[in-house]
Amino acid sequence: MIKFLDLQAITMRHGDEIKAAVNRVIESGWFLQGNENKQFETNYAKYIGTESCVTVANGLDALKLILRGYKEMGVMQDGDEIIVPANTYIATILAITDNNLIPVLVEPTWDHLEINIDAIEKHITFKTKGVMIVHLYGRIAYNNKLGQICKKYDLKLIEDCAQSHGCAWHGVRTGALGDAAAHSFYPGKNLGALGDAGAVTTNDSKLAEIIRALANYGSHKKYVFKYVGINSRMAEIDAAVLNVKLKYLDEDNAQRQKLADYYYTHINNRLLILPTRIKDEYNVYHQFPVFCERRNELQEYLKKNGVQTLIHYPIPPHKQECYKAWNSRTYPITEMIHQQELSIPMNQVLTRPEAEIVVDVLNSFK
């Protein structure tokens, strides 16, 4: 069976170095808010190209804390609207509703799979305070027009970079394109820790300072509490592991890009649609989605022939039970994506012979 994602193989690629880093933390006896986190914040801010990086417990917290930070600053208030793609992982939407803000769902385009930037302006009201884009599947969700819209209407541009570590637009990395960005280091992401971990990157030092306090019980000074905060911190062990793995991120992404090139040149089954390649983007292929009207049958066929796949995602946010009030709405493109999407194996440890099998099985589906 060709695994969709072999986390053991991915970790063991740098196993000795990772184990040494973990050992170093164990022996130091210092497990939170230490040098490893400090180091990672410096390294990751430099990698992304922002002034600040604040480590937190996970990607969802990173998203939530950005919005919470803007509320503390008076930029946003309960009931304000945030424009967001209708096709995203639920966490993006949860972060908005958790802050008593209103997600305004905007359809993606079918060929781009990311929010339709040309449709954003007509959704802007007097309550709109921000646009939260998601660089889904490792693809860019930004263009210059979006930057101009946000400037014109004075909207905060927030990036969900949970799937886009290293992705760039004209040489500027995602995480440095907007006002603030959330990153997830969930083990299965392009840059993954040994458990949950996340970070915020921003050039807004005031926002960074507030988020740092919010994530630490609302305290910026020991035993003094300025905000009603939460506890959201990255373990030193995870920061140590990420300090090792960050060094190899570009190399890993290059491997993914080579595999994507191979897929684009060799998959030729007319029953499948591959995502359009976007000029000017540096795609880091967190996922390689293929689209098929008989998606479930295709998944079964691949499984029978030894290829494991995953669906990202089977049910769109507006059809989820947790957002019952939206269940009767229709977002046709979003729904089509959720009905037809299938993610095939895409990672830095898939071998050439394995890729050949994936392609052969895909091409023999009738």
Angle at 40 between CA 36 and CA 43, to 5 degrees: 140
C-beta of 160 vs 361, nearer to ligand PLP: 160
Q: Does residue 304 have an active-site annotation?
A: no
Min separation Cβ 183 and ligand PLP, Å: 8
Q: Is the dihedral of CA 146, 150, 153, 156 positive or negative?
A: positive
Nearest-CB residue to ligand PLP? Answer: 59
Q: Which is nearer to ligand PLP, 198 or 317 (CB)?
A: 198
Long-range contacts of 105-110 (CB under 8 A, 24+ apart): 105/317, 105/318, 105/326, 105/329, 105/331, 105/334, 107/331, 107/332, 107/333, 107/334, 108/333, 108/334, 108/337, 109/333, 110/333, 110/336, 110/337
71, 129, 189, 319: which one is catalytic? 189
Nearer to ligand PLP, 69 or 138 (CB): 138
Q: Select 60 or 167, whichever has its Cβ closest to ligand PLP.
A: 60
Q: Which of 88, 275, 38 is nearest to 104 (CA)?
A: 88
**Site for ligand PLP, rule CB under 6 A:** 58-60, 88-89, 91-92, 134, 160, 162-163, 184, 186, 196, 198
Distance between CA atoms of residues 170 and 219, nearest Å: 38
Report, in Å, the least distance between residue 57 CB and ligand PLP: 8
Q: Is the dihedral of CA 206, 208, 214, 216 positive or negative?
A: negative
Query: CB of residue 215 vs ligand PLP: minimum separation in angstroms?
Result: 14
Write down the least CB distance from residue 165 to ligand PLP, Å: 11
Give 274's DSSP letter.
P
Q: Give the residue numbers marked as catalytic.
A: 189
